Amino acid sequence: MALSESEERILRAAGSDPSPVARQQAVGVTLAKHGDEAEASRALLTQSYLTHLSPSFHLVPRGNSMFDEDAFTEAYSALVTDTENFTRVDAASLAAVLLECPAALAPLRMILGLTHNELAVAIRLHDPDSNLAGGSLKNLERSTAQEHRTAARQRIVGSIAGAVLAMMNRDLLTVPPRVTTHFHSKLDKGDTLDGWRSVREHTNGVPYSTLLFQRYVGGVWRQVQDAYSEVKGDAVLEIPLQDLLEAHGVPYHRTKRGATGAAETAARFGLKPGPDFIIPDDSPTLVVESKVAEDGGTARDKAARIRTLVTAANERGLRACALIDGKGWTERPNALCDVILATQGRTYTLATIDQILELPEIRALIAEA
């Protein structure tokens, strides 16, 4: 027996309908079906949500998470000046510029093609007594000169300078002989092929083809995408939801980034895993988990986490919502459908985020505000 016209209409409209009751009705239609009807129902329900998803792979983080081009250029100029256009590059000159202008670490890392974490590993290989981590290097890079006028900071920049020179001299992070047929070094590029001499030769400009090749292998945007992936996840969904809640006077608790933040929320509210948002922060009635997925595998894994959270919320008598986006969900429509069913239709995207305000739990809080 085929779906009725009424049922099809309900399913096709679910992802766009601001009414949580209508969304729940669509879930009810789907759960009541069996066999071919169940498959057809799931497909229509999922498609109604898919139309509101958008990719975020084209978005590059900005703001406090990274330098803008002017700031980067200023840091590069300091590096050029203090090394006399890379003609005097030694431990003393590199340490001096990093003490005077910590931001110079950014262009220095780009010469090597390393992230903060990768540079930290190189430093520890060069100096086994060092305990520097990527986070420490990131903090140094974003700090001011005044914060680094201590003996401890001088040791840090000394360690950085030593590791940088060892890499440029091909004494550190060399390519193992047995794999040279299949791999080459990050330094096997035009501006570092012959160490600092190559750097000097490229300070007056590089051929456009060289720039394009760096983009081709991922050198220009990949550093930012990889290093600030968590920032991107926050900014795409969590910050818009936070702004929306604050604009309407809705009290909430937002979990801090990372495993530590999730653990703190879980301990405070008795929910495991700790959701991204708990609404309100006092006597909660609603939880929201936000997930950006740009590939199918990520969507599958994040769908499993959302379903786990829904179960935990149900056990506490709380309503659970999902806020999702990214092209990965289009690659795993079954995973998306599982999320829609688990949340009783309370699944939203960046395009439909305003509809969260129609949830009765939030409408009540807005009325109180």
**C-alpha–C-alpha distance, residues 251 and 245, integer Å:** 7
Q: Which residue has the higher pLDDT, 67 or 269?
A: 269
Q: Quote the pTM value.
A: 0.74
User: Tens digit of pLDDT for each residue in 30-47?
Assistant: 999 999 999 999 999 999
Copy the structure tokens of residue 50. Answer: 């898919």
User: Tens digit of pLDDT for each residue in 143-194?
Assistant: 877 665 688 888 999 999 999 999 999 999 999 888 888 888 989 888 899 9
**C-alpha–C-alpha distance, residues 224 and 221, integer Å:** 5
Copy the structure tokens of residue 114. Answer: 């390393």
- Closest C-alpha among 314, 319, 311 to residue 280: 319
The pLDDT score that the predictor gives to residue 213 is 79
Question: Is residue 1 pLDDT above 70, yes or no?
Answer: no
Residue count of the chain: 369
Mean of pLDDT values over 240-256? 96
Position 323 confidence tier, pLDDT thresholds 50, 70, 90: very high
Q: Are 185 and 194 in contact (CB under 8 A)?
A: no
Q: Which residue has the higher pLDDT, 204 or 233?
A: 204
- Closest C-alpha among 279, 326, 288 to residue 306: 288
Give all domains of the chain, ordered by start, each with its CATH number.
67-220 (no CATH), 229-368 (3.30.750)
**Maximum distance among all alpha carbons in the chain?**
81
The pLDDT score that the predictor gives to residue 61 is 66
